[in-house]
Amino acid sequence: METITILYIEGDGIGPYIMNASINVWNKAVDYVYSGKKKIIWKEIYAGKKALKKFGSLLPDETLNLLKAYKVGIKGPLETPVGSGHRSLNVTLRQTLDLYACIRPVKYIKGIEAPVKNPEDVDIIIFRENTEDVYAGIEWEENSKESEEIINFLKERFRIKLNKSAIGIKPISEFKTKRLMKKAIKYAIENNRKKITIVHKGNIMKYTEGAFRKWCYEVSDEFKKSLDENQIEINDVIADNMFQQLLINPKNYDILITPNLNGDYLSDAAAAQVGGIGIVPGANIGDNIALFEPTHGTAPGIKNPEMANPTSLILSGVMMLEYIGFSEAANVIRNSLEKAILEGYVTQDISKNPEKALSTKEFTNKIIEYFSKN
């Protein structure tokens, strides 16, 4: 028997409800496909409110150490208290574990109402750099000692005059850009993707995002030496134009590779075209560790969390199953979920008739029923 231990964080808000239901789907699919020859052992770790209550910390060292040891995990949405002085837990996890590639596949699922005419034309993978750019978190408040020192330094050393301001620093490095591009090209080769588009604002930020573009092209030039020249097309698009292109010509795009902030905007905008972030999965992957997660938050506006939509988390688990080599189980889940939605079995957020909407558990049970119809 092949067994693998996977860590999970329930998450806050709707997290425990969608996590428990999703684990049931993943387990049932593994049992259905492999008949006991493969198995997942689940081990809970803690972050967010549950960790604060249990350990007195939103992100205990034990959680980070276990992720480093076991290498694979999946998490529900985590809440970072507003005004608490805590940084985003999601950002902290990504940076502390060096999960430098945020990978978000965005593809339309038939049966879901979308705000554009042809959502079926959207089938892209976004590779977003996870550890640099403004998300590095290097910033100081206006009137702070640090911001005043930096303003004075810029004035005295470079003759740059600034008003009293909050100050942020935007680092983008050759090393971190190139390793992301290498991962995107490898993904394209392994998944038969034909085009990578570098998305940047290099016309304005020439030495940060302009350099991001340059370094990505340098990696592609290295790969072309060992590949068929026409195997993967590489081009680039200015970030603001990319938003327009996604709406007008989504068929022209396959893989997008972006700095951190551009990728954050674009992944949500692309998700909106196919029905929203509630149906789009996500993964944060480094060289040795992978942490999968839904793209949405804790959904505090949902009055009854037992009615929450688990699709994003389920599909994040599908990405996880593919990552660990359980691709057959991943395919069964994806196909069953798509069939259930197409036939109108959906949760209230995407139901055309809310009175007939399914609860989280009812929806996941319906997915499991469709396993035998694959």
Q: State yes or no: is 135 an active-site residue.
A: yes
Polymer length of the chain: 374
What residues have CB less than 8 Å from 177, skipping those under 6 apart? 129, 211, 212, 215, 216
104 annotated as a binding-site residue: yes
Nearest to 74 by CA among 346, 278, 350, 322: 322
Binding residue per annotation — 264? yes
Point out which residues pair with 107 in neighbouring strands: 123
Tokens linked to 348: 């209230």
- The verdict on whether residue 133 carries a ligand-binding annotation is no
201 is catalytic: yes
Pick the catalytic residue: 68, 155, 194, 240? 240
Distance between CA 292 and CA 109 in Å, rounded? 20
* Residue 12 marked in a binding site: no
Distance, in Å, from the CA atom of 103 to the CA atom of 131, rounded to the nearest integer, reads 13
Whether 255 contacts 249, CB under 8 Å: no
d(CA 74, CA 58): 17
61 is in an annotated binding site: no
Q: From CA 104, how far away is CA 241, in angstroms rounded? A: 20
Is 240 part of the annotated catalytic residue set? yes
- Is 46 catalytic? The answer is no
Q: How far is CA 255 from the centre of its chain?
A: 14
Q: Which of 170, 201, 339, 366 is catalytic?
A: 201
**Residue 88 assigned to a binding site:** yes
- Pick the catalytic residue from 46, 100, 135, 253: 135
Q: Which of 12, 133, 264, 349 is catalytic?
A: 264
Structural contact between residues 5 and 320, judged by C-beta atoms closer than 8 angstroms: no
Q: In angstroms, rounded to a whole number, what is the distance separating the alpha carbons of residues 245 and 237? A: 9
128 marked among binding-site residues: yes
d(CA 259, CA 40): 34
Q: What are phi and psi of 338, to 5 degrees?
A: -65, -40
Q: In angstroms, what CA-CA distances link 273 with 124, 238, 277, 279, 334? A: 12, 20, 10, 11, 20
- Percentages helix, strand, coil for the chain (3-state, rounded to 5) are 50, 15, 35
Residue ranges of the annotated binding site are 88, 90, 94, 104, 128, 264, 309, 352
**Binding site as annotated, residues for Mg(2+):** 264
Q: Which residues belong to the annotated binding site for NADP(+)?
A: 309, 352
By annotation, the residues acting in catalysis are 135, 201, 240, 264
Q: Which residues are annotated as a binding site for D-threo-isocitrate?
A: 88, 90, 94, 104, 128
